[in-house]
């Protein structure tokens, strides 16, 4: 392997280039470097190496080290599929020749992969199984997906073992069995599969399928974090921040959260933003907090979305803008954020940043009320009491006032007493 690392990449064979990519991906004998792994896989793929082509297709499909690019993913899948087609001799008048660079039909591509999978090729079995599970290129079929995953897993395909373990863990398509999940995750983790290592860490932390062992959880998370797994980095950051099973160390917490944030992991981005906002582990900086929370918000973190809405509503660190506040709070509200749901209702009720709309206010307050927010219950009662956005109905108003009063709303308690006096 030493000679291989010193060899000029231009002179290396496709297999050597692929192995170099594998080494940089796993961090074996060289420092882990996903960018270099992708670079070597690309060189191998351009020389026709099938597994390298599939690795690139997967990277572009899921954004592993690169931005998600379905066209680029399809390109490399097409080349790999063409290889399978030729190897399996599935040439007929009906066969569709797939050329790189064209707008590819995923159904055509996975048809070729399916044929290769049926010939026993484990990586194709994994990809086909995953496709059936997700309905990508094929009709979604849970049982067929699990069938192909098991075939690949039995041949030692680590990603298939990981997904099969997850199916047992969740009880999707088969009886829930945490012990079986652990079995397959161990097999994959022993091959350095970071998802499996992260899942094992979660299992040890929660005591599912194994005896609870926080130290063992941290061990697996460290292995996964070293391979760049953002969830593992997030968990380790939390452990060091809280002193959970390890000595509290804010520097270590920030180290792992920064690693996850660099990969665009929304929870890590949010935690880094929190650190900058409070000055915990880093120098306090509102602008840096907003920078990270904005990135987290764009990636679907509801707490970050709520915070950005609050900044635009109050004008803290940004120019006050009710329309932008509404935008971020609606995003968070649709994800179930209680405070955001209540605040969106207020904006529609008051007409801040949007035309006044009592019906919309009612919609979002009902969302918050379903989570037990007593002020939302009071406000719904107010809408029915005044007939705003709904037909006036004192009985329904009293119903919501009573619910709010039972949760401690003094204003609602006064309304209940008032309505009772009016009877």
pLDDT tens profile 285-312: 999 999 999 999 999 999 999 999 999 9
Collapse the DSSP code of 301 into the 3-class scheme (helix H, G, I; strand E, B; otherwise coil) and give the result: coil
- Residue showing tokens 């040890």: 204
Rounded Cα gap, residues 260 and 223, in angstroms: 14
Task: Tell me if 204 is assigned to some domain.
Answer: no
Whether 102 has a pLDDT exceeding 60, the answer reads: no
Q: Is 259 exposed, middle or buried (0-12, 13-18, 19+ CB in 10 A)?
A: buried
- Supply 223's token pair: 């292995």
Task: Tell me if 377 is assigned to some domain.
Answer: yes
Is the separation of the CB atoms in 128 and 137 below 8 Å? Answer: no
**Length of the chain in terms of residues written:** 423
Whether 191 has a pLDDT exceeding 60, the answer reads: yes
Whether 84 has a pLDDT exceeding 70, the answer reads: no
Looking at residue 33, its pLDDT comes to: 86
Task: Tell me if 283 is assigned to some domain.
Answer: no
Better pLDDT: 20 or 78: 20
Task: Tell me if 412 is assigned to some domain.
Answer: yes
Give, as one character, the DSSP assignment of residue 319. Answer: -
Is the separation of the CB atoms in 344 and 363 below 8 Å? Answer: no
Is the separation of the CB atoms in 334 and 341 below 8 Å? Answer: no
Whether 90 has a pLDDT exceeding 60, the answer reads: no
pTM value is: 0.75
Whether 60 has a pLDDT exceeding 90, the answer reads: no
Is the separation of the CB atoms in 268 and 237 below 8 Å? Answer: yes
Number of domains in the chain: 1
Better pLDDT: 86 or 343: 343
pLDDT tens profile 304-342: 999 999 999 999 999 999 999 999 999 999 999 999 999
Is the separation of the CB atoms in 275 and 269 below 8 Å? Answer: no
Is the separation of the CB atoms in 175 and 141 below 8 Å? Answer: no
**What's the domain range around 407?**
372-423
Whether 4 has a pLDDT exceeding 90, the answer reads: no
Tell me the backbone φ, ψ of residue 358, rounded to 5 degrees. Answer: -65, -35
Cα separations in angstroms, 396 against 180, 213, 380, 399, 410: 52, 52, 9, 5, 18
- Supply 21's token pair: 């990519």
- Give the model's confidence band at 89: pLDDT under 50 very low, under 70 low, under 90 confident, else very high: very low
Looking at residue 101, its pLDDT comes to: 41
Rounded Cα gap, residues 28 and 12, in angstroms: 19
Lowest mean pLDDT among 22-36, 184-198, 262-276, 295-309: 22-36
Task: Tell me if 243 is assigned to some domain.
Answer: no
Is the separation of the CB atoms in 25 and 35 below 8 Å? Answer: no
Collapse the DSSP code of 70 into the 3-class scheme (helix H, G, I; strand E, B; otherwise coil) and give the result: helix
Q: Is 122 exposed, middle or buried (0-12, 13-18, 19+ CB in 10 A)?
A: buried
Task: Tell me if 404 is assigned to some domain.
Answer: yes
Task: Tell me if 418 is assigned to some domain.
Answer: yes
Tell me the backbone φ, ψ of residue 212, rounded to 5 degrees. Answer: -60, 130
Task: Tell me if 403 is assigned to some domain.
Answer: yes
Across 348-358, b (16+ Cβ under 10 Å) vs e yields bbeeebbeeeb
Looking at residue 88, its pLDDT comes to: 40
Give, as one character, the DSSP assignment of residue 282. Answer: S
């Amino acid at each position: 392997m030493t000679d291989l690392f010193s060899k000029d990449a231009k002179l290396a064979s496709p297999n050597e280039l692929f192995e170099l990519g594998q080494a940089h991906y796993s961090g074996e004998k060289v420092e882990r470097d996903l960018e270099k792994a992708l670079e070597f896989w690309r060189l191998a793929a351009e020389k026709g190496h099938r597994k390298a082509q599939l690795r690139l297709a997967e990277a572009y499909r899921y954004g592993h080290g690169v931005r998600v690019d379905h066209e680029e993913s399809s390109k490399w899948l097409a080349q790999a599929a063409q290889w399978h087609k030729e190897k399996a001799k599935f040439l007929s008048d009906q066969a569709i020749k797939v050329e790189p660079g064209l707008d590819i039909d995923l159904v055509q591509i996975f048809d070729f992969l399916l044929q290769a999978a049926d010939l026993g090729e484990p990586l194709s079995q994994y990809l086909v199984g995953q496709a059936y599970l997700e309905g990508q290129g094929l009709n979604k079929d849970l049982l067929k997906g699990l069938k192909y995953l098991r075939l690949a897993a039995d041949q030692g395909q680590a990603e298939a073992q990981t997904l099969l373990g997850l199916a047992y863990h969740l009880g999707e398509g088969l009886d829930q069995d945490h012990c079986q999940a652990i079995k397959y995750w161990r097999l994959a983790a022993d091959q350095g599969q970071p998802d499996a290592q992260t899942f094992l860490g979660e299992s040890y932390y929660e005591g599912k399928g194994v005896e609870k062992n926080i130290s063992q959880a941290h061990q697996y998370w460290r292995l996964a974090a070293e391979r760049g797994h953002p969830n593992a980095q997030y968990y380790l950051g939390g452990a060091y921040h809280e002193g959970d099973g390890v000595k509290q160390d804010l520097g270590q917490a920030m180290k792992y959260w920064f690693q996850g944030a660099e990969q665009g992991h929304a929870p890590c981005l949010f935690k880094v933003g929190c650190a900058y906002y409070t000055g915990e582990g880093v120098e306090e900086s509102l602008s840096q907090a907003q920078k990270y929370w904005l990135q987290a918000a764009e990636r679907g973190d509801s707490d970050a979305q709520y915070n950005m809405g609050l900044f635009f509503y109050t004008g803290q660190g940004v120019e006050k803008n009710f329309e932008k506040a509404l935008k971020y709070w609606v995003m968070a509200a649709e994800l179930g954020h209680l405070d955001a749901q209540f605040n969106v209702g207020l904006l529609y009720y008051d007409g801040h940043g949007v035309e006044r709309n009592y019906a919309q206010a009612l919609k979002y307050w009902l969302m918050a009320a379903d989570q037990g927010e007593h002020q939302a219950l009071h406000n719904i009662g107010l809408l029915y009491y005044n007939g705003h956005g709904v037909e006036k109905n004192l009985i329904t108003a009293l119903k919501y006032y009573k619910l709010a009063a039972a949760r401690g709303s003094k204003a609602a308690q006064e309304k209940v007493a008032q309505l009772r006096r009016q009877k």
